[in-house]
Structure 1
C-alpha cells in the first residue's frame, strides 16, 4: 500500500502531469438554468442572482425616469411611451396606458428620462423625448392636460431629455440642440436657451436655486457625409468608415472616396463628456468640468479609450457629485471655488475592484436634518444590480443594497426613511412560449415580457447594510477552486499555460432562441413545439393578394399554401450533434444594440441602455447637431466605449493577431441595399470605428444587411481567406470574427430565393455549414476552435427564458456529440477566448463568468465537417445569387479549399529557418 502511494505521488510529480490548483471567480448560478422566483432568488442570463431588498413590485419595462411627490405619497416612473403612477402608501402601480384600454396613453410618441412633480402633488411634467415637447399630466385624472413645444426661435427638431422644476419654471435639456431651456409655467413660453455640451443628459440644481448643472454624455458632434442627399445616399454614402476613433485622422479629417471627410476634433474638448455649470441669474455658463479619467491616459499599462460618461449630478450645499459610468467613480466638484476637488472610487470588493463593471448611474443625496450637511450618497449601479451607499466624509463605500437587474434611479422619501429604487429589467424575462405558457397582458416579445421593478427599502442601519452587502456579493460571484492536470485545452486562467488551440474563429449570428432552432434535440432541454426552424416543419403563407375598394392590398383569407416536412436548419442540427452545444446559454442582451456590445466584451453603459429604450429620429440634414446622434444597433460608438475598451483593445494590448469580417458595421443611419456589399452598410453620417479593429477589418465583406445573401458573404470570406492565409504568405490570425446575419430574417422576397421568413434561416444555416466545411479542410483546422452564437434572442421564443439562445463549439479539441448543461453567457465565451489566447480579463463579467472546460477534450479528432444542403422548397441559393450574376460551384465547395502544395510548404519551411536560425 505504501509503495502504491509513493508511486502515485512520484507519477503526479512528473512534468506535465502534476495537478495544480487555481482559485477562480465564477457566477453563483453556473450549474443552474435561468428562472424567476420572486420569493427567493432569481437567476439572470449572466448567471448572477437577484434578490431585491425591501418590498418590490413589478412595473412596465425599462423605467429610466423617477420622481416623487413633495408629500411623499406618490411616485411616477417614466418608460418608453409609458408611465406608471405609484401609490407609495399601498405600494401599488397603475400603468398608463393600461392593458384593458380603459386609460388612454399619455405618451403616444415616446419619452426620455425627464419627469418632475409639481408642488400640488398631482401635476407631473413629462419628457416627450423625440417629439421635442414637455407634456403636462394630471395624476388624479390620469390624462395629459397640456404640452409645451421646445421648437421655435430658430430651433428645430428638439429632443426633450432630463427636466426639473424650479419654482414657477421648468429647466429642460434639449439633447438635439445641445442646450438648456427655461420655460415659464405661467405663460408656457421659453424664456432662455443656454448652450451646453454635447448630448446633455443629466440635470441638477443647487439648493439655493442659483446654479444649474448639466452632465453631457456626448463625445463628438458628428457631421453629415459631404455630397450625400436623400435622393443619392444609396450611391454616395461612404462604403466604409473613414477613420478610426481618437486618431489624428478623426481629429483633422481625411480624403476618402474622392471627398474631403471632415474630422471630429478632440475627444478632450470642453463640449465632450463634461459637466457644465450655468448661473441662472445671468443665463451664462460659468464653469466646465472634465470629470473622470480622460481618453489617452494610462491605467496599469492600458490606454483609456472610453470617455467618463458623466450622466447624473446631485448637489449639496458646497459640493456637486457626478457619476462617471465608465470609470466606476464619483467626481466631486466644489462649485463655490469652481474646482474639481477629487473623486470617490466605488470600491466594493477587493477581488473585483481592479476591474470595471459597476456603471454608476442614478444618484440621491439626502441633507442631514441636524446640520443640513451631506453625509451619505446613494448610487444606482446599473451593471452591478445594487445601490452603493457612500460615506461622504471618508469617501468610501459603506455598503451595498440588492436591487433588481439594472438599477437606473434611486430616490429618498421626504422623511428620509425610505429608499425608492427603479430597475430596468427587474427579475429578468422568464419564458415567453412553450407548453403550459400563459401569455401575459403585456405580450411575449422579450422587451415587453421583461418587466422592471420598483422597490421600497427602509434606509438600513449598519447591521442591516452589512447583511445586504454580503448578499450582493454572493449574488455576483463565488470563489471556486479548480484543479488542473494540464490536459484540458482550455486553461483555467489566462497565461496559466499554453493551449493546443492557436486559432479561434468567432461566428456571430442574429436574433434566434434555443428552442426555435434546437428545441427538438433529445439530449438538450428543449420544447419541440417551438422548433419552427427545426425538422419536419410545416410552413404556411398567403397564396395571393387582391386590391380592396380603397386600393389597399388585402390578403385572400383562406387561401394558403402549406409546405410540410421541411428541414429548415439541418447544418445547425448536425453541428450540434457532431460537436458540442449548450442548452443553458443565454444572451445578456435583449436586442442588437445591447448584443453587439456584450459579445465584443463591452458592457452597455447608461447611454446605450437609455437610447435602446427610447425612440429617436436620426436626421442627417437637421440644423440640430444632436440629431446626428450615435445610436448604433450593430456597432460600438465612441460614446459607448468602456474605459479600456473591450475585446478588440484587449487583443491589441496582448499582441494577439486579429481580423474582422463584418462586425461593427451597423451605424446609425446606415444604408443597406442589396448592392452595398463591400461592408454591408454605407454611411450617410460620419461615424468612426474602434481604433483597435479598424486596420484589421475586411473591406470586402458584407456585415449586417439582410438584403445581401449569406451565400454572397461566404464567397467573400472564402476568397479573402484563400488569398491571404492559404495561398498568400500571411499566417491566419489567432482570432477571426465573422458575422453571418441572415437568421435575423426579413420580409419575403420570392423573386430572389426568399419566399418565406424560413428562407433566411435556411440561407444562414447553409452559410454556417459551408463555413465549417471550409475551415475544417484548411491546414489550420488542427489547432482551431470555432465558436458559433447569436447576438441577441429577440426574434424568437423559448420555454426556459426569452434570453436563451445558441452556443455551439466545433474543432478537433471539442468533444464529439456533447451537450453542456453548464450555464454560459457572453462572459463565458469571452473567458474561453481570453484563457486560450492568454489575454487578461477586461471587466468583472469576464472575471466572474462560468468556466466552460467541459466542452473540451485532450484527444483531438481531426475529422472534417460535411455540409448539408437545404430543402430546395424553402431556399434556392442559386436564385439568391442571380442578381449578382453569380453561380455557386457546389462541387468546388464540397471539395474544399486547395490542399497544401508541397513545394510551397518546403519553401516556407526553409524561409522560417532562415528567419529563426
Structure 2
C-alpha cells in the first residue's frame, strides 16, 4: 500500500506517449494501454484491488471503500489506511455499500448481505453474513446496490433476479421481493413509501421486441447489433404495507449511479452507455433534461458517465466519466436544480473536468462541499507490487485507488480541464474527425478516416493469452528477457521468422487483462462499465464469446461498423459459444486424425451468439474448448481461400480466432503445452503463407494480436504482448518501438477499410503507421515446419511422480472448457514448469504469493 502525491510535471502530447513504455514514468505520470495518461489531482491513496463503491463513516472522518474482496477503511483527512477487512471466499459485486447507524452493509454477488461494525477494541470486524433470497437461475444472484430506507430496513438490488429485496437489518431477516426491470443496479429512496431503481437493462421486452438473453433474462436489444438498447428507472411505492413497481421511466443506456437533491425534488441518473445524466422531476416522474457529459460535444460515444455527487446547495453536479478518467463538473440549469432558478443557464453546462485515477466509478462529496472522494476502479493500473521499483509486472496486479481532491476554484478547474484533455489527447481526437479529402491519394494507412487505402482486405487474427517475453523474449533484435521466454524459437519458429522478415513490434500492449474484457478491446476498442466493475467474480457472465448483450458498447463491433458501411466480412470463431461442438466422447486425437488424413469424420456444430454474424460465419469453425487443433482451423480457412481465388473475390474483413496457444496445461489426453503452442505457430505460418501466395496478397494486410496476456510475466509490463502487421507494405527486417495497443489495431483496420471510428478510444488511438512503407515487397512468406511434434501428448497421471504429478493433478482439476476459468497464476506455473523443468524456480517476482505445495 502506498500514499502517492502527483506533483507538477509536463503534459504529454500524442507523440510523447507513442514513444514511451506503459507504466509509471519518472515524472510520476502513469501511461496506460489505452492511449491515455493518468495524472490525478489531489492526494492518491492506493491499495491492492479494484474499488467500486464508497461510504462515509463518522460524519465523513472515515471513508469505507468496497474493493474486490475486502473493505478498506481510510482516514479521510490524512489518507491513512486504517484497516482492511477481508471478506473470505467472497465475490463482492459491482456496487453496494451503505452506512446505517455506524455499521457498514455490503452486498455480495453470492447472495449474502455482509456487515461490519466497529468493536470495543477499536477495530472493524466482520459479522456473520445474512443470507438473501436465492434465485432459480444457475449461478450467483449478484446482489448489488444498497440504500437505507430507515434505521431498521435497507433495500438491496439483485441484478440476476431482476428484483429489489427489503432487508430487516434489526432482526436480521430478508423480507419482501419487489420485481423491477432488467438487471437493477442501485436504489435511491425518496421517502418511507417511494424509491427509484436504475435498471442497467431497462424494461423487460415485449413479445415483439428484438431481444436476447442476458444472464438468463430476456433483454431488449438493437436489431442490427444485438446489443442492449434500453435503460429505465423503476418507481416502487408502498401501498397497504406492500411494495410494488408503479411506473417505469425511460432514461439513457446502462443507468447506474443515482443521487437525489437535498429535498428530493430532483433525481439525477448517470447513464454510462449514453454519456449522459437524466434529470427526473420526482413530483411528476418525468425527465426534465438530459445532460451530455462528454469533454467536448463533437466527440463520439465513450465517456461512461456512471456515478454522481451533488453540491450542498444543489447547483453543481459532479459526474464520474469512467473512460475519460475524470470528473465532469456540471452547472445545473434552472429546471434541473432544486429551487435555484435565478441566474441559472437554460441548459446545464459542463464547466470543466477534474483529473482522477483510471476509471472513476464512485464519488462522495463532504458535507461542506469542499472535498471530493473518488474511487478509481482501475486506479493506477497493474502496479500492485512491493517491487514497483523493479522491472516487470503482471497484468493482474490491480492497484486500485481513491483520489482525495479539494473542489477547485474556476482558475484551478480551467487548469485541470486542460490537463484532462491533454491526457486524453483531445486535440488529436478532434483532428481525427476531419472529413476525408476528395483528392487524397491512397496510402497504406490514410491520414484521415474515410480516405482511400492501398489495402483492400484485412485479415484480423485473434490469439489467446501470451505476453511478449513468453514468446519473443529470446529475440535479440527486440527488448526481451530471454529468461522469461518459455515458448521460444524452437517452439514458435514462424512467430520468430515473421518478426524477422517483417516488423518486430516490441512495444505493443493489450488494453485489457483477461478474455472477458480482452475480446471487447479487440472487437470494439472499448469496455463498458458493466465489465469494468465486474472483476469481483463476473457473476452475470464472462462474455468473451459475445453471449451477453448488456456487456458491450452500444456502438457495436468492428464487423458492425464494416457491415454498416457496405463492406463484406467473413468470420472464423469470434462470438462462437464456448461449449462442446463435437459428439460426446470425442478426443483431441480424433480431430488431429481428421487433420492428418484430410477427413471430416468428427461432426462440428457451433452456436453463433451474434445475429449480425450468422450469415457471415464459417458454419463449422470452432472456438473453445480446444479439442480441435489450430492446424485443423487453418485448413478450414485455406479451403475458403481457394474458393475466394476461384471466385476472384475475397471479403474485405476477415476475423479469425486461433485459440490453441492458450493450451490445456498438462492435462492427460491433450498435447503438451509446447506442442499446442507449436500447433498455433504452424497454423499461423500456413495461413500467412497461403494468403501471401494468393492473388489477394498485393492489397491484403494480416493483423495478429493476443486477446489478453493472461496474468503472464513480462519484464516491461504485464500488458505487453505479441502482435504482427504482415503485408506487402510492411517494413522488412525492421523493429518498431512505437507504443501501440489493441485500440490502435482496431483504428488501423478502420482506416484501411475506410470506416469511421466507433468511439472515443479508437478515435484517440495511434494507428500502426510506423511499421509500413510506401513501396510494396510482394515476396511471399514460406512457412517453417514445426520442430515440436504436434501430437506430443501429456503423459497419464499413473506414469507421473513428484512435482510432475503434482502439477498434472492441478491441471486436471482446472476447467479448460471455457476461456479463463482456470486459475491463471496456477496455470502459468504449470506452463513454466512443463517447459523449463519441475526444478526450475518460477520467477516469483511476477506474482504475489507462492503456490501451495511448491
Matched, 1:648 2:550: no
Q: Using the alignment, how far apart are the partners of 1:399 and 1:774 within structure 2? A: 53
Query: May I ask how many residue pairs the two structures share in their alignment?
Result: 736
Q: Tell me the CA shift for residue 500 of structure 1.
A: 2.1
> Equivalents in 1 of 2:387, 2:456: separation in Å?
41
Counterpart of 1:312? Answer: 257
8 A contact 1:181–1:194 mirrored in 2? yes
Query: Does the CA contact (< 8 Å) of 1:27 and 1:476 recur in 2?
Result: no
CA pair 43-357 structure 1, distance change in 2 beyond 3 A: same
Spell out, residue by residue over 1:3-33, the C-alpha distance to the aligned partner (whole angstroms, 9 max, x if none). xxxxxxxxxxxxxxxxxxxxxx957512211
Q: Is the 8 A contact 2:580 2:625 kept in 1?
A: no
Equivalent residue for 1:491, pick from 446, 466, 481: 446
Does 1:417 find its partner at 2:417? no
- Secondary structure of 2:94 counterpart: coil
Structure 1: distance between partners of 2:236 and 2:703: 51
Equivalent in 66, 81, 95 of residue 78 of structure 1: 66
Q: Is the 8 A contact 1:634 1:667 kept in 2?
A: yes
| Aligned 8 A contact 2:394 2:717 in 1 | no
For residue 49 of structure 2, what is the aligned residue in structure 1?
A: 61
Say if 1:124 and 1:138, in contact at 8 Å, map to a contact too: no
CA contact (8 A) 1:679 1:702 kept: no
Aligned to 1:149: 131
Summarize deviations over 1:766-790 as a string: whole Å, max 9, x none. Answer: 1111111121111111211111111
Task: Give the distance between the partners of 2:114 and 2:582, measured in 1 at CA.
Answer: 32
**C-alpha distance in 2, partners of 1:144/1:668?**
39
CA distance in 1, matches of 2:230, 2:137: 21
Instruction: Quote the offset at 1:486 in angstroms.
Output: 4.5
| Cα shift at 1:267 | 4.2
Q: Does residue 667 of structure 2 align to residue 745 of structure 1?
A: no
Residue number in structure 2 paired with 1:465: 413
1:697 aligned onto 2:642: no
* Bigger-Rg structure (1/2): 1
Q: Distance in 2 between matches of 1:786 and 1:400?
A: 40
- Give yes or no for the alignment of 1:360 onto 2:305: yes
Correspondence for 2:295: 348
Structure 1 CA distance, aligned partners of 2:106 and 2:474?
48
> Are the counterparts in 2 of residues 28 and 48 from structure 1 also a CA contact under 8 Å?
no
Q: Where do 1:882-901 residues align within 5 Å? A: none
Shift of 1:41: 1.4
C-alpha contact 2:181 2:204 (8 A) present in aligned 1:
no
Instruction: State the match for 1:189 in structure 2.
Output: 173
Q: Which runs of 5+ in 1 are unaligned?
A: 1-24, 98-104, 223-245, 254-261, 293-307, 369-373, 536-566, 617-628, 880-917
1:273 aligns with 2:219: no
* CA distance 1:737–1:354, shift in 2 (3 Å): same
The answer to whether the Cα contact below 8 Å between 1:424 and 1:453 also exists between their aligned partners in 2 is yes
Task: Supply the RMSD in Å over aligned alpha carbons.
Answer: 3.4
1:72 Cα deviation after fit: 0.8
Q: Tell me how far apart the structure 2 counterparts of residues 380 and 72 of structure 1 sit (CA, whole Å).
A: 20
CA contact (8 A) 2:32 2:38 kept: yes
Quick check: 1:33 aligned with 2:21?
yes
Question: Which whole-Å CA distance do the structure 1 matches of 2:734 and 2:386 have between them?
Answer: 26
Q: Evaluate the alpha carbon distance shift between residue 117 and residue 252 of structure 1 in structure 2; reply closer, same or farther with a 3 A threshold.
A: closer
Does the CA-based 8 Å contact 1:59-1:95 persist in structure 2?
Answer: no
1:370-429 CA-partner distances (Å, limit 9, x unpaired): xxxx21111111111111111112411111110111111111123322100111222222
Aligned partners of 1:671, 1:417: CA distance in 2, in Å? 62
Q: Measured at CA, do residues 418 and 78 of structure 1 come closer, stay the same or move farther in structure 2, by a change above 3 Å?
A: same
The CA deviation string for residues 879-917 of structure 1, in whole angstroms up to 9 with x for no partner, is: 9xxxxxxxxxxxxxxxxxxxxxxxxxxxxxxxxxxxxxx
Indicate the residue corresponding to 1:510 in structure 2.
464
Match in the other structure for 1:895: none
Please, which of 308, 324, 332 is the counterpart of residue 392 of structure 1?
332
Q: C-alpha displacement at 1:63, in angstroms?
A: 0.9
TM-score, with structure 1 as normaliser: 0.74
Q: SS at 2:494's partner residue? A: helix
Which of 1 and 2 has higher RCO (CA within 8 Å, sep 6+)?
1
**TM-superposed deviation, 1:841:** 1.2
CA–CA separation in structure 2 for the residues paired with 1:505 and 1:713: 15
Partner residue of 1:576?
A: 499
Assess, with a 3 A threshold, how the Cα gap between structure 1 residues 290 and 165 changes in structure 2: closer, same or farther.
same
Aligned residue for 2:395?
Answer: 446
Summarize deviations over 1:257-281 as a string: whole Å, max 9, x none: xxxxx99575499996311011245
Distance in 1, matches of 2:625 and 2:203, equals 26
1:455 is matched with: 403
Partner of 1:80, secondary structure, is coil
SS at the partner of 1:71?
Answer: helix
Q: Deviations over 1:727-753 (max 9, x none)?
A: 3x361101101110111222224544x
Deviation at 1:108, TM superposition (A): 2.1
Deviation at 1:791, TM superposition (A): 0.6
Q: Which residue of 2 aligns with 1:834?
A: 750
Aligned to 1:256: none
> Match of 1:283?
243
C-alpha distance 773-435 of structure 1, shift in aligned 2 (>3 A): farther
Q: Provide the C-alpha distance between the structure 2 equivalents of 1:327 and 1:776, rounded to a whole number of angstroms.
A: 43
Within 1, Cα distance between the matches of 2:248 and 2:718?
Answer: 44
Q: Distance in 2 between matches of 1:770 and 1:197?
A: 50
Change (3 A) 1:211 1:693: same
Q: Deviations along 1:495-549, whole A, 9 cap, x unmatched?
A: 23x22211110111011111111122222222222112114xxxxxxxxxxxxxx
The 10-residue stretch of structure 1 (277-286 or 398-407) with the greater mean CA deviation from structure 2: 277-286
Distance in 1 of aligned mates of 2:722 and 2:370: 46
Tell me how far apart the structure 2 counterparts of residues 116 and 604 of structure 1 sit (CA, whole Å). 24
Give the whole-Å Cα distance in 1 for the aligned partners of 2:402 and 2:737: 33
What is the CA-CA distance between 1:874 and the residue it aligns to? 7.2
8 A Cα contact 1:251 1:263, kept in partner:
no
